[in-house]
């Protein structure tokens, strides 16, 4: 009987799961070693009643499975089908099982569920060479040194590849700058982590690009005593095939939580990267209405990267929340695509000087005819009481006699509906409730009003805005 030869290692399953990942070990007596088969199965494991073992049609495994003296069957994971397929592909790819004599598997994972590990083997190879270079080990990337003037030239020509949403953190920059100027020997390049460069194509006149150490590079240039930084140089042939999300992955990994001298990758930056990674690697699932595919932010590939970045369980919850906001906003924008939502952000206004000119004219009219001392434009999705208190109240000397105006704008219809109905569905609503409490108890002596800019092109035209 096969059961006399098979040892089953079956961990207690969760109450609900779609699939499971299993590993079969078969003892090759003539070779005195184990040979492996990894797979996953859609459905629940039925214990002793389960007759599913593997799907291989190869003669070798069929023969060994029928005749081997020792076989171990272990379930490694339970979970969603997409996560089990991802784990299978990740493990087989890392082992290069398809080309290994130690594995029965003929491929490194495939099928509609097995997305998420495209390109990761190469990313990990690059990362391993970076780590080896840092440790001075064989097999690492070439190292070198850039003088202050060379670093400044790279910065001036736009060579900083910043993975964060916030390009430069001035507080962190000042800390590093002071570090370079902190007495004799403080600017010694060996006292600072090497900056990581994406090197240009051989023979090209292009400059290297800095993917790791942007703040450190700028601090060296801005300081009095900084004169050079050591470098790790990634060849063009290694980094150029990467997608934008894989380049950002490398940048994020160079700034993990609590890394010495670096600024940790913030939650928003990781959330933006993760949603982009889902799009890049086609990690999708059906939305609640089962009408379209949306980024699968809970995919195991995203969780694995969070763990790599040293995010704690509570920090992961925050990031998941921010990812969900990004996904929800994208869905809302798709629903509103025919309505042409107006973009009143500073960046958008710079691209539309005609609208900016009309806006400036309206502000002057509000001040002269409306009697407002100052006007603050603010996104209602990023409603910030501290910003209002500083830019309207403190900035104007706590003036209790003049009128002030908050000129708000919404970025989608749901956001405006939430504000109008006071449904507590996101942090913006909490901010509005807090604002109302502040007005009632702390700011009742100040004359602050709120008006709103048009949400759509139609509303803007109806309000007299001239749009091209």
pLDDT tens string 320-341: 888 888 887 766 555 544 457 8
pTM: 0.53
DSSP 3-state of 156: helix
DSSP 3-state of 37: strand
List, in order, residues 6 or more apart from 43 with CB less than 8 Å away.
18, 19, 52
Residue 236: per-residue pLDDT:
94
**What torsion do the CA atoms of 189, 194, 197, 203 make, to the nearest 10 degrees?**
50
When computed from its CA atoms, the radius of gyration of the chain, rounded to whole angstroms, is 29
pLDDT category of residue 23 using cuts at 50, 70 and 90 = very high
H-run or E-run covering 76: strand 71-79
pLDDT category of residue 258 using cuts at 50, 70 and 90 = very low
Residue 148: per-residue pLDDT:
95
pLDDT category of residue 229 using cuts at 50, 70 and 90 = very high
What sign results for the dihedral spanned by CA atoms 114, 118, 123, 124?
A: positive
- Whether 428 has a pLDDT exceeding 60, the answer reads no
Determine the Cα–Cα distance for residues 305 and 318; give it in Å rounded to an integer.
Answer: 15
Residue 3: per-residue pLDDT:
59
The beta-strand segments (E) located in 224-263 are 228-234
Tell me, rounded to whole angstroms, the distance of Cα 402 from its chain centroid: 44
User: Can you read off the two tokens belonging to residue 212?
Assistant: 């790791």
Residue 281 CA neighbour count, 13 Å, CB half: 27
- 147, 207, 380, 410, 411 from 345: Cα distances, Å: 39, 32, 11, 10, 9
Measure the N-to-C terminal CA separation of the chain; round to a whole number of Å.
Answer: 80
**Nearest residue to 210 (alpha-carbon basis) of 186, 239, 183, 188:** 239
Span 367-394, mean pLDDT?
77
- Whether 427 has a pLDDT exceeding 50, the answer reads no
Q: How many CB atoms lie within 10 A of CB 297?
A: 21
- Whether 147 has a pLDDT exceeding 90, the answer reads yes
Residue 425: per-residue pLDDT:
45
The helix/strand count (H/E) of the chain reads as 17, 13
**Nearest residue to 130 (alpha-carbon basis) of 253, 243, 241:** 253
Contact 230, 192 (CB under 8 A): yes
Contact 24, 71 (CB under 8 A): yes
Determine the Cα–Cα distance for residues 41 and 78; give it in Å rounded to an integer.
Answer: 10
160 DSSP 8-state letter: B
49-53, 291-295, 438-442, range with the lowest pLDDT: 49-53
Residue 150: per-residue pLDDT:
95
Residue 160 CA neighbour count, 13 Å, CB half: 18
More confident residue, 425 or 22: 22
pLDDT category of residue 195 using cuts at 50, 70 and 90 = very high
pLDDT category of residue 252 using cuts at 50, 70 and 90 = confident
Determine the Cα–Cα distance for residues 89 and 39; give it in Å rounded to an integer.
Answer: 9
**What torsion do the CA atoms of 299, 305, 311, 312 make, to the nearest 10 degrees?**
50
H-run or E-run covering 309: none
Residue 424: per-residue pLDDT:
45
Residue 38: per-residue pLDDT:
92
Span 258-277, mean pLDDT?
70
- Whether 291 has a pLDDT exceeding 90, the answer reads no
Span 347-368, mean pLDDT?
88
Contact 235, 199 (CB under 8 A): yes
Span 127-152, mean pLDDT?
93
Span 149-165, mean pLDDT?
82
pLDDT category of residue 111 using cuts at 50, 70 and 90 = low
Span 362-373, mean pLDDT?
87
Span 141-163, mean pLDDT?
89
**Nearest residue to 393 (alpha-carbon basis) of 435, 446, 433, 432:** 446
Determine the Cα–Cα distance for residues 122 and 235; give it in Å rounded to an integer.
Answer: 13
HEC readout, 361-410:
HHHHHHHHCCCEEEEEEEEHHHCCHHHHHHHHHHCCCCCCCCEEEEEEEC
More confident residue, 333 or 357: 357
Span 300-311, mean pLDDT?
88
Determine the Cα–Cα distance for residues 105 and 214; give it in Å rounded to an integer.
Answer: 44
6-15, 168-177, 352-361, 363-372, range with the lowest pLDDT: 168-177
- Highest mean pLDDT: which of 44-58, 89-103, 220-234? 220-234
Percent of the chain with pLDDT over 70: 81
DSSP 3-state of 233: strand
Contact 271, 163 (CB under 8 A): no
Residue 269: per-residue pLDDT:
80
- Give the model confidence (pLDDT) of 36-95 as tens digits: 999 898 888 876 555 566 566 677 888 888 888 898 999 999 998 888 888 888 888 878
Q: How many CB atoms lie within 10 A of CB 455?
A: 21
223 DSSP 8-state letter: S
- Highest mean pLDDT: which of 220-234, 351-365, 430-444? 220-234
User: Can you read off the two tokens belonging to residue 321?
Assistant: 């929340």
Residue 396: per-residue pLDDT:
76
Residue 370: per-residue pLDDT:
81
Q: How many CB atoms lie within 10 A of CB 339?
A: 15
Determine the Cα–Cα distance for residues 61 and 66; give it in Å rounded to an integer.
Answer: 8
Average pLDDT, the chain: 81
More confident residue, 123 or 144: 144
Residue 57: per-residue pLDDT:
63
Contact 3, 53 (CB under 8 A): no
């Amino acid at each position: 009987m096969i059961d006399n030869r098979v040892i089953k290692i079956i961990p207690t399953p969760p109450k609900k799961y779609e699939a499971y990942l299993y590993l079969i070990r078969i003892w090759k007596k003539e070779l005195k070693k184990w040979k492996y088969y990894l797979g996953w199965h859609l459905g629940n494991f039925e214990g002793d009643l389960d007759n599913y073992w593997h799907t291989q049609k190869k003669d070798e495994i069929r023969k060994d499975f029928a005749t081997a003296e020792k076989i171990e069957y272990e379930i490694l994971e339970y979970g969603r089908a997409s996560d089990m397929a991802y784990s299978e592909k990740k493990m087989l790819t890392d082992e290069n099982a398809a080309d290994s004599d130690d594995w029965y598997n003929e491929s490194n994972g495939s099928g509609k569920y097995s997305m998420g590990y495209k390109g990761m083997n190469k990313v990990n190879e690059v990362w391993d060479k970076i780590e080896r270079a840092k440790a001075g080990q064989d097999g690492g990337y070439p190292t070198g040194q850039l003088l202050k003037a060379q670093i400044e030239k790279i910065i001036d020509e736009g060579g900083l590849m910043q993975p964060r949403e916030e390009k430069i953190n001035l507080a962190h920059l000042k800390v590093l700058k002071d570090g370079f100027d902190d007495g004799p020997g403080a600017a010694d390049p060996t006292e600072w982590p090497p900056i990581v460069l994406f090197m240009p194509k051989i023979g090209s006149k292009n400059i290297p690009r800095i993917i790791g150490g942007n703040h450190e590079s700028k601090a060296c240039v801005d300081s009095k005593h900084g004169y050079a930084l050591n470098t790790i140089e990634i060849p063009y042939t290694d980094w150029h095939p990467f997608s934008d999300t894989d380049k950002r992955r490398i940048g994020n990994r160079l700034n993990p939580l609590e890394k010495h001298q670096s600024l940790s990758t913030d939650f928003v930056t990781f959330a933006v990267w993760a949603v982009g990674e889902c799009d890049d690697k086609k990690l999708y699932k059906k939305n609640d209405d089962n009408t379209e595919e949306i980024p699968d932010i809970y995919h195991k590939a995203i969780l694995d990267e969070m763990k790599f970045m040293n995010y704690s369980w509570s920090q992961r919850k925050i990031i998941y929340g921010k990812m969900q906001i990004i996904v929800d906003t994208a869905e809302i924008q798709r629903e509103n695509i025919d309505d042409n939502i107006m973009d009143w952000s500073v960046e958008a206004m710079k691209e539309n000087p005609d609208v900016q000119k009309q806006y400036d004219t309206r502000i002057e009219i509000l001040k002269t005819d409306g009697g407002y001392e100052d006007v603050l434009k603010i996104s209602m999705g990023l409603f910030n009481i501290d910003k209002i208190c500083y830019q309207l109240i403190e900035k104007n000397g706590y003036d209790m006699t003049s009128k002030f105006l908050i000129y708000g704008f919404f970025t989608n219809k749901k956001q405006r509906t939430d504000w109008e109905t006071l449904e507590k569905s996101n942090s913006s609503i909490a901010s509005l409730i807090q604002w109302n409490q502040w007005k009632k108890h702390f700011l009742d002596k100040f004359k602050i009003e709120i008006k709103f800019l048009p949400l759509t092109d139609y509303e803007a035209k109806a309000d007299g805005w001239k749009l091209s």
